[in-house]
Amino acid sequence: MNDNDKILENYIEPDAPVEYLFVEKAEEQVKVINDDQGYIYGFINISYSGEFKNDNIDSFKQLLEEELNYCLKEYNSFKTDVIDFNDYKFGLIDNYKNIMEYNVMNDLFFNDLIKSLRNLLIVGKDFEWEATCGFSLCTLY
């Protein structure tokens, strides 16, 4: 059995993809997201089945942190190269473009994320939701 076969044998179909928009922190928001502030679209999967489960806040946070740290180092559009979730606030966006705001990623946040459409907006704490999003950026679904 080769490595590809081993990977496919252990592959778990994701049950709950999370689409997110990450906006780099900034001292102040100058205008709607621009090149100086950068942003990333991405997907994180919350798995509910199989031997490996990442359906808890710690696993989710670790996956998200690893992916964002990789992206920050890999792309030159960002001024920072390490993520610190204390510098960000988190918004869950519903079908009607309402945003539920959280200052920390905790169990309350994660439970609401699981119940939501799983559209996540991560922005620096100095950003305002309304000014951060044009409808095209906040329409994550």
Q: What are 23-72's pLDDT values in tens digits? A: 888 887 877 776 667 788 889 888 876 666 778 999 999 999 999 999 98
Could you tell me the residue ranges of all domains in the chain? 18-138
Q: Where are the alpha helices (DSSP H) in the chain?
A: 3-9, 57-74, 107-115, 129-132, 135-138
pLDDT at 141 over 60: no
Q: Contact 90/61 with Cβ under 8 angstroms?
A: no
- Classify 120 in phi/psi space as left (phi over 0), alpha (psi -120 to 50) or beta: beta
Helix/strand/coil percentages in the chain, nearest 5: 30, 25, 45
For the domain made up of 18-138, the CATH class stated in words is alpha beta
- pTM of the predicted protein model: 0.80
Q: Contact 42/66 with Cβ under 8 angstroms?
A: no
Give the rounded percent of residues in the chain with a pLDDT score beyond 90: 30
Give the rounded percent of residues in the chain with a pLDDT score beyond 70: 83
Q: Contact 17/43 with Cβ under 8 angstroms?
A: yes
C-alpha distances out from residue 105 to 36, 59, 120, 131, Å: 26, 12, 11, 22
Closest CA to 128 of 91, 95, 93, 92: 91
